[in-house]
């Protein structure tokens, strides 16, 4: 079974650190194959390791507590999210639900006088439909929920990672967690929960890595 990693794939080291494959290079003098990969934590350093060592098994005599069979094992994006994102998502969902409930209560209290007045609206056949003020506001909220962030659309329209990176840089003052999560889904990566600007920098570094690989392919 060929375990040679491919560019863009995610791997977990047996010490539970995550890395992304940039490429598999060949030593110009010895011809030895080297895996070029980047850490997805800390300073996002880039490393080179001989392919044979990268795909080798863990020495369980030296590391008896290691759970993995191999030194590096491939991780699917949804696996990477794992428990760390599940906890963050549940916490985030709880906060949004709480804020939504408070906002809904405030809106209902604000429009209470309007609910007593019934608005008349004619349909295309000339018939008259009745609806309360709260129904009108509910419809308006639904329409707003369906709107897509224009920054996300601009990011999707960018054809190269260089263009995507520049779009992301231009959105710095308007970035939020939802937009970061949406872009991460598009990029098929996971940005861990944390401070907003830390997550923003993580996303920029991920796109910059893809940009470097894109540039190296053009030179081939």
3-state secondary structure of 11: strand
CATH C-level class of 10-75: mainly beta
pLDDT in tens, 148-183: 788 888 888 888 888 889 999 999 998 999 889 989
Are the beta carbons of 214 and 160 closer than 8 angstroms? yes
What is the per-residue pLDDT for 71? 95
Distance CA 101, CA 79 (A): 32
- C-alpha distances in Å from residue 61, one per residue of 5, 57, 66: 26, 11, 10
Phi, psi of 194 (to 5 degrees): 165, -160
Token pair for 177:
């967690």
- Strand locations in 5-122 (E): 10-13, 18-26, 33-39, 46-50, 72-75, 119-122
- What is d(CA 151, CA 166) in angstroms, rounded to the nearest whole number? 12
pLDDT value of position 131:
45
7 by DSSP, 3-state: which? coil
Q: What pLDDT, on the 0 to 100 scale, is given for residue 9?
A: 95
Check residue 19 and give its pLDDT: 97
**Is residue 5 within 8 Å of 54, Cβ to Cβ?**
yes
Sheet order of strands, 18-26 included? 46-50, 33-39, 18-26, 10-13, 72-75
pLDDT (0 to 100) of residue 155: 85
Q: Which residues pair with 25 in a beta bridge?
A: 34
Given this model, what pLDDT does residue 98 score?
Answer: 56
pTM of the model: 0.38
Domain boundaries, the chain: 10-75, 149-220
Structure confidence at residue 110 (pLDDT): 54
H or E element in which residue 53 lies: helix 51-54
pLDDT of residue 213: 75
Residue ranges for the chain with pLDDT beneath 70: 78-147, 215-220
Q: What is the pLDDT of residue 158?
A: 85
Q: Is 57 helix (H, G, I), strand (E, B) or coil?
A: strand
């Amino acid at each position: 079974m060929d375990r040679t990693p491919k560019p863009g794939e995610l791997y977990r080291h047996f010490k539970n650190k995550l890395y992304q494959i940039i490429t598999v290079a060949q030593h110009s003098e010895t011809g030895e194959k080297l895996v070029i990969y980047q850490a997805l934590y800390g300073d996002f350093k880039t490393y080179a390791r001989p392919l044979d060592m990268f795909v080798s098994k863990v020495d369980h005599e030296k590391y008896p507590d290691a759970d993995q069979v191999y030194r590096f094992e491939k991780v699917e994006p949804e696996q990477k999210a794992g428990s760390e994102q599940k906890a963050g998502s549940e916490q985030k969902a709880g906060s949004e639900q709480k804020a939504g409930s408070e906002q809904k209560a405030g809106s209902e209290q604000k429009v209470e006088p309007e609910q007593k007045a019934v608005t008349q609206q004619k349909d295309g056949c000339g018939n008259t439909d009745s609806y309360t003020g709260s129904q009108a506001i509910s419809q308006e909220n639904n329409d707003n929920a369906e709107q897509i962030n224009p920054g996300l659309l601009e990011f999707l329209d960018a054809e190269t990672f260089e263009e995507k990176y520049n779009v992301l840089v231009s959105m710095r003052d308007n970035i939020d967690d939802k937009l970061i999560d949406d872009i991460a889904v598009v990029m098929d990566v996971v940005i861990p929960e944390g401070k907003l600007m830390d997550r923003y920098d993580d996303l920029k570094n991920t796109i910059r890595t893809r940009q470097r690989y894109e540039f190296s392919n053009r030179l081939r």
